[in-house]
């Protein structure tokens, strides 16, 4: 059986064309269709399958990116072969029967790349056709395998999917296909190009938008290309390879004069893609684990963080998440034990511009500021969709009670299994130790301030080895309205500290008026010690 996973966030018209091509499959094997609605403004109707006579499931997801959407589709797929199809792709009527034959004919292969083409209805489709035909032809090996993955139409055997790992990297804004190829190459596998399995990719973009999009492609795929280079030297095209690809495009254009206008535009697009890669080398976001002032720090984006928390909780991986602020770095300089404490956490994200600027000063590159205030709504929506049991621990009794009430009111489907205040006597701590396993949460949100909450998490993780613990500091006070929440524009500008200092100077003067100069001094010492 085949499972066809279609991530969707766009125009319903495109999706209808895609489903039309699936409904028209001739002599098709048994298959199911899973449409993952990635937070589209025009939601996919739940009864869409009946209109096409297809066994179709519609999943509504929080918009966390195409990688998260595809991984969600995999989690609901039941077929032995999973086919990924983009909503702006139509399949030839013999696509599935030919794919079935290829899968049976090549039992040693785990991944199968469709023979993608563009359309011919307008200039953009002809540009896409020229790009796809030349790229696939140039990268195809003599043995029928191809150094290329394009998940617009791409299939894998379920047996190759690791149970404890997503196929698509949640960190990838673009370049998730390249990361899949890198993973295959690390396992000594290459996708097989199946020439009889034809699909047509028809992007609905204007010519200018299509050309300019290549700058973003170059910018955001640079980390994936670096990963591919590490996985297998020589796979990425060098200068001679790019010249060869350009030559193939020229030959293909010569065979059909209608493609001549596409050539200079594709040259411009590839030039912009190259410029995007250069820009990323200079200014790009630095993903992965870093260390600043002996403290661990992860470069993550907001959507990736939410997706990682939710997927880890769904699989019962038992991960720990917390944050760093400028004041955390100052505290850690005074208390060396904090460095060891925070190294127990799987993700430590940058909560504040002070940490982002510290990373820049110390040569860790540009990171993103992420705050729980900003991502809590997405996290609760995703937890509700996945039916994750959630527990809250922290703050005073009236604050945590009010916060729980707020969450239940805003997210009626959220499975909030219990809550407890955070500042406990020994007897209350013992009672909570008995209640936590009984609640059996998959996600525990802890707000006690640093480093108290991190010590508490490390002491209690053995009680819930399959749960995800997320530290959120004083979030509950803002959630229930005990403290005013900074306006969104202030958060985006990184001026929360000034807002908080203005409202509560007696409480926070030391953290900001003393902490900021101390941090600057620590950074200067660390920076000059490297010279």
d(CA 222, CA 215): 11
**CB distance 472 to 457 below 8 Å:** no
| Mean pLDDT, range 224-238, rounded to an integer | 83
Chain-centre distance for alpha carbon 333: 33
SS3 148: coil
Q: How many CB atoms lie within 10 A of CB 207?
A: 15
Between the two ends of the chain, the Cα-to-Cα distance in Å is: 61
* Residue 353 binned pLDDT confidence (cut-offs 50, 70, 90): confident
* Residue 305 binned pLDDT confidence (cut-offs 50, 70, 90): very high
d(CA 493, CA 521): 24
SS3 145: strand
3-state secondary structure 441-460: CCEEEEECCCCHHHHHHHHH
| Mean pLDDT, range 467-496, rounded to an integer | 82
**CB distance 502 to 508 below 8 Å:** no
- The pLDDT value recorded for residue 503 is 67
d(CA 239, CA 237): 7
φ, ψ at 30 (rounded to 5°): -65, 135
SS3 336: coil
Q: Helix 239-255 crosses helix 123-139 at what angle (to 10 degrees)?
A: 130
| C-alpha pair distances (Å), 149 with each of 5, 219, 387, 402, 460 | 16, 19, 33, 49, 43
**pLDDT tens track for 102-160:** 999 999 999 999 999 998 889 999 999 999 998 998 899 989 999 999 999 999 999 98
| Mean pLDDT, range 409-413, rounded to an integer | 95
d(CA 36, CA 71): 10
How do the domains of the chain map onto residue ranges? 2-282, 288-490
**CB distance 228 to 178 below 8 Å:** yes
**pLDDT tens track for 485-521:** 777 777 766 777 777 767 677 766 677 777 788 888 8
d(CA 259, CA 124): 10
- The pLDDT value recorded for residue 70 is 94
**CB distance 184 to 145 below 8 Å:** no
- The pLDDT value recorded for residue 444 is 97
Q: Specify whether the backbone of 90 is left (phi greater than 0), alpha (psi in -120 to 50) or beta.
A: beta
Q: How many CB atoms lie within 10 A of CB 266?
A: 23
Tell me how many degrees the CA angle 134-140-145 measures, rounded to the nearest 5: 150
Return the top range by mean pLDDT from 118-122, 237-241, 274-278, 480-484: 274-278
Q: Give 289's contacts (C-beta < 8 A, 6+ positions apart).
A: 296, 297, 298
| Mean pLDDT, range 248-268, rounded to an integer | 83
- Low-confidence winner among 9-13, 100-104, 201-205, 410-414 (lowest mean pLDDT): 9-13
Q: Copy the structure tokens of residue 342.
A: 């925070």
**Does 294 have pLDDT greater than 70?**
yes
Return the top range by mean pLDDT from 11-25, 167-181, 388-402: 388-402
Give the containing element (helix H, strand E) for 468. strand 468-471
Q: What is the CATH number of domain 2-282?
A: 3.90.550.10
- The pLDDT value recorded for residue 508 is 67
**Does 529 have pLDDT greater than 80?**
no
One DSSP character per residue, 57-123 reads EEEE-----HHHHHHHHHHH--SSEEEEE-TTEEE-TTHHHHHHHHHHH-TT--EEEEEEEE-SSSH
Burial of 344 by CB count in 10 Å (0-12 exposed, 13-18 middle, 19+ buried)? Answer: middle
Maximum C-alpha span of the chain: 83
pTM: 0.86
- Low-confidence winner among 221-235, 300-314, 470-484, 485-499 (lowest mean pLDDT): 485-499
d(CA 151, CA 284): 25
**pLDDT tens track for 58-93:** 988 888 889 999 999 998 999 999 999 999 999 999
| Mean pLDDT, range 372-378, rounded to an integer | 92
- The pLDDT value recorded for residue 166 is 84
Between residues 2 and 173, the one the model is more confident about: 2
- The pLDDT value recorded for residue 406 is 94
Expressed in percent and rounded to 5, the helix, strand and coil fractions of the chain are: 50, 20, 30
On average, the pLDDT of the chain sits at 89
Closest listed residue to residue 403, CA positions, set 384, 431, 422:
422
The percentage of residues in the chain with a pLDDT greater than 90, rounded to a whole number, is: 58
**Does 531 have pLDDT greater than 60?**
no
| Mean pLDDT, range 335-356, rounded to an integer | 93
- The pLDDT value recorded for residue 83 is 97
- The pLDDT value recorded for residue 179 is 93
Between residues 235 and 108, the one the model is more confident about: 108
- The pLDDT value recorded for residue 100 is 96
**Strands of the sheet with 153-157, listed across from one edge:** 56-60, 31-37, 2-8, 81-85, 153-157, 111-118, 192-201, 89-91
């Amino acid at each position: 059986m085949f499972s066809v996973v279609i991530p969707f966030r766009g125009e319903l018209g495109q999706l209808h064309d895609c489903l039309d091509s699936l409904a028209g499959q001739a002599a098709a094997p048994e298959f199911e269709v899973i449409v993952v609605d990635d937070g589209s403004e025009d939601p996919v109707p739940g009864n869409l399958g009946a209109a096409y006579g297809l066994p179709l499931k519609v999943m509504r997801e929080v918009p966390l990116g195409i990688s998260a959407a595809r991984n969600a589709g995999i989690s609901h797929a039941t077929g032995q072969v999973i086919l990924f199809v983009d909503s702006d792709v139509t399949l030839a009527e013999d696509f599935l029967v030919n794919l079935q034959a290829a899968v049976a004919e090549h039992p040693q292969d785990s991944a199968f790349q469709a023979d993608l083409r563009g359309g011919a209805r307008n200039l953009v489709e002809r540009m896409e056709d020229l790009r796809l035909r030349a790229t696939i032809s140039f990268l195809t090996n003599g043995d029928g395998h191809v150094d290329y993955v394009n998940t617009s139409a791409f299939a894998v055997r379920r047996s190759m999917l690791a149970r404890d790992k997503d196929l698509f990297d949640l960190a990838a804004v673009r370049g998730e296909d390249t990361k899949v190829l890198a993973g295959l190459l690390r396992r000594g596998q290459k996708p097989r190009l199946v020439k009889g399995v034809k699909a047509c990719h028809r992007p609905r973009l204007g010519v200018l938008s299509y050309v300019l999009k290549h700058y973003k492609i170059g910018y955001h795929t640079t980390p994936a290309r670096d990963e591919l280079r590490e996985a297998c030297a020589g796979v990425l095209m060098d200068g001679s390879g790019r010249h060869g690809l350009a030559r193939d495009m020229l030959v293909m254009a010569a065979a059909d004069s209608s493609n001549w206008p596409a050539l200079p535009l594709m040259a411009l697009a590839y030039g912009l893609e190259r410029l995007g890669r250069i820009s990323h080398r200079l200014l790009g976001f630095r993903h992965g684990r870093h260390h600043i002032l002996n403290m661990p720090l992860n470069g993550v984006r907001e959507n990736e963080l939410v997706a990682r928390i939710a997927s880890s909780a769904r699989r019962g991986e038992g991960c720990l998440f917390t944050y760093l602020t400028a004041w955390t770095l100052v505290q850690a300089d005074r208390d060396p034990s904090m460095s060891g404490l925070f190294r127990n956490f799987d993700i430590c994200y940058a909560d504040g511009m002070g940490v982002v600027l510290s990373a820049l000063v110390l040569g860790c590159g540009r990171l993103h500021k992420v705050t729980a205030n900003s991502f809590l709504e997405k996290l609760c929506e995703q937890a509700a969709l996945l039916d994750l049991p959630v527990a809250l621990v922290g703050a005073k009794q009236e604050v945590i009670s009010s916060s729980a009430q707020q969450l239940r009111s805003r997210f009626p489907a959220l499975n909030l299994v219990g809550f407890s205040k955070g500042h406990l006597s020994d007897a209350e701590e013992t009672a909570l130790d008995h209640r936590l396993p009984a609640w059996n949460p998959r996600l525990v949100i802890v707000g006690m301030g640093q480093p108290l909450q991190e010590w508490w998490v490390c002491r209690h993780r053995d009680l819930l080895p399959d749960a995800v613990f997320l530290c959120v500091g004083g979030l509950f006070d803002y959630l229930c309205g005990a403290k005013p929440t900074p306006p969104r524009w202030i958060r985006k500008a990184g001026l929360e500290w000034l807002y908080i200092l203005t409202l509560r100077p007696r409480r926070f003067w030391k953290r900001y008026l003393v902490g900021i100069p101390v941090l600057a001094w620590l950074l200067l010492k660390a920076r000059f010690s490297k010279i």
